[in-house]
Structure 1
Amino acid sequence: MLRIANRVAVVAAVIGAMLTSGAVASTAESASAAQRSQVGVQSRAGYFLGDGINIRNAPNGPVILGKGYRGETFTAHCWNGNGLWIYLTAHRGNVTGWVSVSWVFYTNNGPMGYC
């Protein structure tokens, strides 16, 4: 019985030392690390689904920087915080700005981060 109590005490001491030394990350730290890894993910290719799609200066912004047309290609760089707008560069005219995700189609899969 004494041996079991000693083993439990040793295990508790080791776990305590690991937690205080930072050897074991908390769930919040792990989640934070996962979010940081999303920042540097790759862009996606795609094309516009309609004609005269506004490329704006901000999500739902008032300034129209250019237009995208059905079938024209772009490179999407990132999403805004709610995922409803993407920041992209239209290949025709090399215009970079924000477009509603309702008007685009991605031609490749993979992770894309938030801006």
Structure 2
Amino acid sequence: MVTLLCLCLPCYAQFSSNVQGTVTDSSGAVIPKAAITLHNVQTGIDLRVATNATGYYRFTSVAPGNYEVAATEAGFTPGSVSVTVSPGETRGVDITLVPGSTTVSSP
């Protein structure tokens, strides 16, 4: 009966790796609410979060593999970092964004 019960439980993968970091501008000031994308290079799957009030972000339960971590925020040039995540690793990935040029479009 125990075997039957175990077969009925849903199967899913659990990973213990994490990717986290802080997004700052070129002066070192933190950037809250920046959009962060974690792109798995092998699978093409994207995960998204936003930085908190201190510019911090975290992706939990990340599968081992190769990733592109990208950060975007209005008024800044997007930034990205390539990273390899190993099993059980918490990988720190800080990103610095450079202020972008402001363009005004004419009607």
Normalised by the length of structure 2, the TM-score is 0.31
Higher relative contact order (CA 8 A, sep 6+): 2
Higher helix share: 1
Greater strand fraction, Structure 1 or Structure 2: 2
Q: TM-score, normalised by structure 1?
A: 0.30
